[in-house]
Structure 1
Amino acid sequence: MESAKSLNTYSHQNVIVMRHGDRLDRFESLWTSKAERPWDTPLAQDGMDRAFRTGQRIRSQIGFPIHRVFVSPFLRCIQTASEVVAALSAVDLDPKAMSSKDVLCMDNAKLKVSIEFGLCEVLNTSCMEIEVVPEDGKFDFKISDLEAMFPKGTVESNVDMVYKELPQWGESSQGFKDRYFDTVKALADKYPSENLLIVTHWGGVSVALYNYFKDATKYMVDYCGSVEMRRQILNSDDDGFAKFEVVTSHGVSYKDNNCPIHDHVVSQSPV
């Protein structure tokens, strides 16, 4: 792989780690009992709307283009990412009237989407009810069908996944934390010249936060809540990466031992 020095166009790399939108089974109590795949809930309509609005916010407010989107194979994440990508890729501007900000937004129309098993839901009873888990413990996904849900021309299906297979059911607490951390780091290191959007689950966002707010005892992550991280690309011959820092977040709060009653709000989402 080429060095970060030869690849990097920007002095910094930005990574947004985002939770999926509102899931249908939290709105329709009978959905699970009737579903063929009760462990793989789709989004509610509110979730679809929230995801699209989140894409609009990202497009208009963050100040940098998104180059790649990596997404968990669970349907609620696929649908969230699809709505966000649609909002990011919408280009309906008159080229003669474009500002520099508009041109920046057009860069998002070139973004690529890939599915990543390492971003999947936590596969244990802390996040999934045992009643909905497949009897054989196997969570099957038809990747080609999931890729077809994204806007035409955005999918890059030949990207090697960090995790070639889904974790086994019953993964430990430390195991899923390591998985999320290793996956995000590996993806960022693989594409140091590009800004990434990671669409995953509550656990993925909380693990990203944990590395910067270690006193926290509990994280609250809203639907489509996110953490925006940034690091400098050093362009050195020995170590081309600085450590990520949390720049801001949306729809996220946490509690710590020093202040167990009140929530610390990292940032409040406008959507």
Structure 2
Amino acid sequence: MPSTRVLLARHGERVDLVDNEWTRTAERPHDAPLTETGLHQARKLGERLKHEGIDRIYASPFLRTVQTAAQVASVIQMPICIENGLCEPLLNRLFPETFAGFNHPELLAKDMPCIDRSYQPLRKPQHPESYSSAQRRCGEVVRALAERHPGQSILLVTHGLCLEYMATALVTSEGMSFSMPYCCLTECIRGGQGSSSHWQYGCKLDASFL
């Protein structure tokens, strides 16, 4: 059987960390979109993945991750599955108690028709989460998605802390750095002819293509 490959990518540059005024007037201040730079980074990520034989794209439901995935999808011509289990850790320090929830895929698909409206998420995270519950959730979701696609290559577009949690849930023998550039790519590989059944890294936090 061919190797199973899980490619983990962080989203591109987000507007609220560049423009301090954005959150004051935003309708959904917890759900920032990409900047123009972020869109460019996402497009470069798509070009990097164009010949990687991706079989499925999954994205966190936050706008910045869906926009990143949509740029990739436009390059490799593939629909996006919105997986709530890939979302940012729903910590009280990051989100107010009045957390408004995720955008519905139908609403996102109005601007990004590449979204697969028929996909049903594996998980529905509830606010608030602790660090430990978010880490457990990320590990469970990445392992479940990998098992769903044996011998295939899948791309998961997520957030910095989630990327760390998911990578270390697979490659348990080696930790991750806390320095995660926008749109960086990490590849986790298992199996293949002459290979171990254990997960190992192909590339790790690679942003050389940006």
Ranges in structure 2 where 5+ consecutive residues have no aligned partner: none
Q: Match for 1:86 among 47, 57, 74?
A: 74
Which residue identity does 1:219 align to in structure 2? Answer: F
Match of 1:70 in 2: 58
Pair 1:52-2:53 in alignment:
no
The residue correspondences of 1:31-46 to structure 2 (distance < 5 A) are 31-46=22-37
- How far the C-alpha of 1:72 sits from its partner, in A, is 0.5
Pair 1:28-2:19 in alignment:
yes
The residue correspondences of 1:73-152 to structure 2 (distance < 5 A) are 73-89=61-77, 111-125=78-92, 128=94, 130=95, 133=96, 135-150=97-112, 152=113
Which residue identity does 1:222 align to in structure 2? Answer: P
Q: Give secondary structure in 2 for the equivalent of 1:221.
A: coil
Q: Give secondary structure in 1 for the equivalent of 2:12.
A: coil
Contact 1:79 1:149 (8 Å CA) reproduced? no
Contact 1:67 1:112 (8 Å CA) reproduced? no
Structure 1's 217 and 18: CA in aligned 2 closer, same or farther, altered over 3 A?
closer
- How far the C-alpha of 1:243 sits from its partner, in A, is 2.8
Provide the rounded CA distance (Å) in 2 between the counterparts of 1:149 and 1:232.
38
The CA RMSD over aligned residues, in Å, is 2.3
Q: Give secondary structure in 1 for the equivalent of 2:106.
A: helix
Match of 1:172 in 2: 130
Q: Which moved more, 1:44-53 or 1:223-232?
A: 223-232
Contact 2:88 2:161 (8 Å CA) reproduced? yes
Pair 1:210-2:165 in alignment:
no
Contact 1:192 1:233 (8 Å CA) reproduced? no
Match of 1:238 in 2: none
Provide the rounded CA distance (Å) in 1 between the counterparts of 2:209 and 2:176.
25
Match of 2:187 in 1: 228
Pair 1:269-2:208 in alignment:
yes
Match of 1:249 in 2: 204
Q: Give secondary structure in 2 for the equivalent of 1:40.
A: coil
Ranges in structure 1 where 5+ consecutive residues have no aligned partner: 1-9, 90-110, 235-240, 252-267
Runs of 4+ in 1 over 4 A off after TM superposition: 213-218
Normalised to the residue count of structure 1, the TM-score between the two structures is 0.69
Match of 2:10 in 1: 19
Match of 1:159 in 2: 119
- How far the C-alpha of 1:195 sits from its partner, in A, is 1.1
Structure 1's 230 and 140: CA in aligned 2 closer, same or farther, altered over 3 A?
closer
Provide the rounded CA distance (Å) in 2 between the counterparts of 1:219 and 1:26.
18
Contact 1:73 1:146 (8 Å CA) reproduced? no
Which structure shows the higher strand fraction?
1
- How far the C-alpha of 1:27 sits from its partner, in A, is 1.1
Provide the rounded CA distance (Å) in 1 between the counterparts of 2:28 and 2:12.
18
Normalised to the residue count of structure 2, the TM-score between the two structures is 0.88
Provide the rounded CA distance (Å) in 1 between the counterparts of 2:17 and 2:148.
36
Provide the rounded CA distance (Å) in 1 between the counterparts of 2:191 and 2:173.
22
Pair 1:184-2:142 in alignment:
yes
- How far the C-alpha of 1:137 sits from its partner, in A, is 3.4
Which residue identity does 1:83 align to in structure 2? Answer: Q
Aligned length: 207
Which residue identity does 2:103 align to in structure 1? Answer: F
The structure that has the greater radius of gyration is 1
Q: Which moved more, 1:140-149 or 1:189-198?
A: 140-149
- How far the C-alpha of 1:22 sits from its partner, in A, is 0.1
